[in-house]
Every structure is written in structure tokens, then in C-alpha cells.
Amino acid sequence: MRPISYRRATDAQSAVQALASAAETNNPLTDASIQPLAGGTTLLDLMKLDVMRPAVIVDINPLTKSWSAINLDGRKLKLGSLARMSDVAANPDIQRHYPVIADSLKLAASPQLRNMASLGGNVLQRTRCTYFRDVSYEQCNKRSPGSGCAAMDGFNRAHAVLGASDQCIATYPGDFAQALIALDATVEITGKSGVRNISFADLHKAPGSSPQIETALMPGELISAFSIEGRWPRSTYLKVRDRQSYEFALSSVAIALDLQDGTVRDARVALGGVATIPWRAREAEALLKGQKLDDAVASEVAEAAFEGAIGRKHNEFKIALGKRVVSRALHQAAAMEI
């Protein structure tokens, strides 16, 4: 039994001050002695598995009132990081103007988890790599830097084919993040010295030689909001998995299209379930612009989306599957009535 102390933040300032006092470690997301608690759907899970071992938990739920607004002002959408997934998915403005966001949230987890989980926590969820989540495996560079990677030669069916390194091939598990990266979202981050904004595309870090560093957040910083410029009514999220509910993606894609008379003026393509981070397929997007979508174009775009993908013993199938998912989602988005 390990003692844990519980603190309840009273406002944003007290939350970031408490969190910033956490000792800096090699692995801030795993070893940090102080962790924020929002919905708790990742943190408590990993504490029970003994993967995360905080000495202090700072409950940031008192900030919910100020950090949970869903605000569509003209053509700018702002989502508070403590908004619950189910509330955002059910919001009529989101369903109408950003269906890719509503779809990605609805297809994630179970209703109970969606009612608890916050948007901020959702994008920061940890990998489902079995070797990371089971501390009886000693080799895991993400959990224990320098120890090796049991997945490389282990059972790697769920692992990444894009963005991997020789240190880690763990898949980023979320869905909502693919919608955010596709729509060029900005992340508002609150820390001890104030608020800063970064592109969502810069939030997650590919494993490289430091798989334990997963995001650009500094110790003590919290995500306070996400914002998106423009509206994307022709957008969708397609998720393929081993079972139809309460399962992580084997392959997923967020698509957003701007069509004029059937010709693509702008396009967004982001992949999930196949990469180590939320994966924007920019080459695929470039191929779509100025084209009328047909089977040949969809297939060319799908090939480009998986350019450079590397399959391993058990996950090679994800490359062929992912291409089909991209192609199907493109046709699905093009056929939407808006």
C-alpha cells in the first residue's frame, strides 16, 4: 500500500501552483509525484495497475464551471478542456457544424466513460500497449526509460505502423485527437506564468529516442481549452475495430472536405489506430485538392496516406486495412448532405 494525498484546487492558479511543485523526473507522465485529476478515467485505471504512482493528486474538477464551456462564436469554436465528452458529442452546434468531432467522441469508450471523461484528459490518454500496462514486463522504454521494448518482438498486432522508432512502437489510442488535428485546432495551455497557445499538431511527441516524453506540456501545465477556426459541416470520423463498441481503433480516419460543384477545394485527413501520435496525412490532402472524388482518386489518396508505413510481424494488416478505411471515409464524407 502506497500513501496518496488528495488536494482539491480552488481555482486555476492554485491548481497550476500545486502541480508545478512536482519534482521533475525523467518520465513526468508516469513518475510525476503530483498528478491532476479530472474525469480520472485514465489516471485511476493506471494507478490500479501500478503503472502510475503519484504521491499527490490535485483534483481540478472545481475548475469545471470556468473550463467546460462549448462556445461557437461566429466561425470560431472554443471547447473548455473540462467539458465532458458526452456533452460535447450531444451538442447540436457540434453535430451540425463539426460532425467529425461529434462522431469521434461518440465512437470512443462506453457511455459511462464518456460521461466522466474530460476533453483534456481524453487527448492525453496513455497507450494501450499491453507491455506498458502490465508492470510484470520489465522491458518498456516508455514506462522505464532504457529498459527496452517488449513489443518489438512480442505480440504487436495493435501497434503502430507510422511514426514508430526503434525505442517504441506504441499506438496513440484516442479518437477525438484525430478530429482536432484534422481541423487545425489550437490548444490553450495554462501554467504558472500564464496562458500560451500551441498548434494541436505540436502537442503530441513521436517516440524517437525518448518515448517517455509524450507531449509538449511542461510540468505543472494544464490544457484549458481547444479552439478551431472555421466550420466543417462535411466531415466524418470512421473507426474500424475488433468489435463495434467499447474498443480501440485498429484503424480510423477523420475526414473533412470542402467541395464546390463536386470538386475538392480543401481537404483534411488524419489517421488513428495506426500511428504513435495523432497523424495528419498532409500528402494525401494535397492530392485531393482540385480533384473530383472517384474510386481512382480515393485509392491514390489512401496510398499516399500510408506512404512510409512499416508493418511488423502481427500488424502488417493495418496498412491494407487503413487504406480501405481512408477510401471509404472519403466517399462517406463526399456523400454527406449538408
Phi, psi for 76 (deg, rounded to 5)? -115, 130
Closer CB to ligand SF4, 106 or 142, in the complex: 142
C-beta of 171: minimal distance to ligand SF4 in Å?
A: 8
Among 67, 132, 172, 306, binds ligand SF4 (CB under 6 A): 132
Torsion from C-alpha of 289, 290, 296, 298, nearest 10 degrees? 30
C-beta of 243: minimal distance to ligand SF4 in Å?
A: 22
The window from 51-59, 70-78, 117-125, 165-173 that contacts ligand SF4 (CB under 6 A) reads 165-173
How many CA atoms does the CB half-sphere of 309 hold within 13 Å? 26
Site size toward ligand SF4, by CB under 6 A: 14
Q: Which three cell numbers stand for residue 7?
A: 488536494
Closer CB to ligand SF4, 92 or 146, in the complex: 146
274 lines the binding site for ligand SF4 (CB under 6 A): no
Task: Give pairs for 114-117: CB < 8 Å, separation 24+.
Answer: 114/84, 114/85, 114/86, 114/89, 115/84, 115/85, 115/86, 116/39, 116/40, 116/41, 116/84, 117/38, 117/39, 117/41, 117/84, 117/85
Among 52, 117, 129, 253, binds ligand SF4 (CB under 6 A): 129
Is residue 1 classed exposed, middle or buried when 0-12, 13-18 and 19+ CB atoms within 10 A define those classes? exposed
> Could you count the other beta carbons within 10 Å of the beta carbon of residue 2?
8
Phi, psi for 162 (deg, rounded to 5)? -130, 140
Closer CB to ligand SF4, 128 or 192, in the complex: 128
- Per DSSP, 255 falls in state E
The window from 70-78, 137-145, 282-290, 295-303 that contacts ligand SF4 (CB under 6 A) reads 137-145
Among 141, 186, 224, 251, binds ligand SF4 (CB under 6 A): 141
C-beta of 300: minimal distance to ligand SF4 in Å?
A: 31
What does the per-residue mask of binding to ligand SF4 show for 56-95, with x meaning CB under 6 A? ----------------------------------------
Q: Which three cell numbers stand for residue 291?
A: 480533384
170 lines the binding site for ligand SF4 (CB under 6 A): yes
C-beta of 314: minimal distance to ligand SF4 in Å?
A: 13
211 lines the binding site for ligand SF4 (CB under 6 A): yes
151 lines the binding site for ligand SF4 (CB under 6 A): yes
Closer CB to ligand SF4, 144 or 236, in the complex: 144
Closer CB to ligand SF4, 30 or 186, in the complex: 30
Closer CB to ligand SF4, 156 or 178, in the complex: 156
C-beta of 146: minimal distance to ligand SF4 in Å?
A: 10
Question: Angle between the 317-334 and 295-305 helix axes, to the nearest 10 degrees?
Answer: 130
Closer CB to ligand SF4, 141 or 227, in the complex: 141
Distance CA 225, CA 88 (A): 13
- Are the C-beta atoms of 156 and 167 separated by less than 8 Å? no
Distance CA 333, CA 28 (A): 39
Would you put residue 139 in left (φ > 0), alpha (ψ -120 to 50) or beta? Answer: beta
Among 97, 106, 142, 312, binds ligand SF4 (CB under 6 A): 142
- Residues forming contacts to ligand SF4 in the complex (CB under 6 A) are 127, 129, 131-132, 140-142, 149-151, 168-170, 211
